[in-house]
Amino acid sequence: MIKGLFEAHLPVKHLETSINFYEKLGLKLAWRDENTAFFWIEEGKSWLGLWEGNEYKTEYHPSLRHIAFRVTYEALKASLEWLETLQVKAVPFGNRTTVEPFVRPNQGNASVYFKDPDGNSLELMCFVDVPEELRHMTEKLSFDEWENALSRKID
């Protein structure tokens, strides 16, 4: 029945500032009016709605004001450099002290986080193939730690 995500929404303070930011990320503006803009995430498949209004003041919680964009593993490895070229700073996730991308072996994914101009939490995320013997690992591993764990498993 369900084939994918059609749309997600975020509140913003200034629509023009947000339009510029999301275009800088490479998203294509699909439609807009006075207080709303929609960007294609995957053209013809899914989009992101930005809504100008006071709701941007809503306190952050992972269930609110968060979007994860799917990328490849290789793109995630290069994400810090890419964000830097856009003058966007990565931010630590949770209680981590580093902004480096990390792998969650028990979930089979990897991430890096950053914020939009209104403090909405944005994530670049990819699926990771995890051998069954490593699925028990609940700690968040840097890419170096992950690749070392994989090589130890292979040896």
Q: Does residue 77 sit in the same domain as residue 128?
A: yes
User: Considering its fold, how many domains does the chain have in total?
Assistant: 2
Res 123: pLDDT: 96
- Domain of residue 82, CATH code: 3.10.180
Q: Does residue 77 sit in the same domain as residue 146?
A: yes
Res 94: pLDDT: 86
Res 129: pLDDT: 94
pLDDT beneath 70: ranges in the chain: 153-155
In which domain, by residue range, is 103 found? 65-155
Q: Are the C-beta atoms of 136 and 149 separated by less than 8 Å?
A: no
Structural domain includes residue 60: no
Of 95, 113, 110, 114, which Cα lies nearest the Cα of 145? 110
Structural domain includes residue 59: no
Structure tokens at 130: 């995890």
- Domain of residue 35, CATH code: 3.10.180.10
Res 138: pLDDT: 93
7 Cβ neighbours under 8 A, 6+ residues apart: 38, 46, 47, 48, 49
Res 23: pLDDT: 98
Structural domain includes residue 111: yes
Task: Please state, in angstroms and rounded to a whole number, the distance separating the CA atoms of residues 143 and 155.
Answer: 18
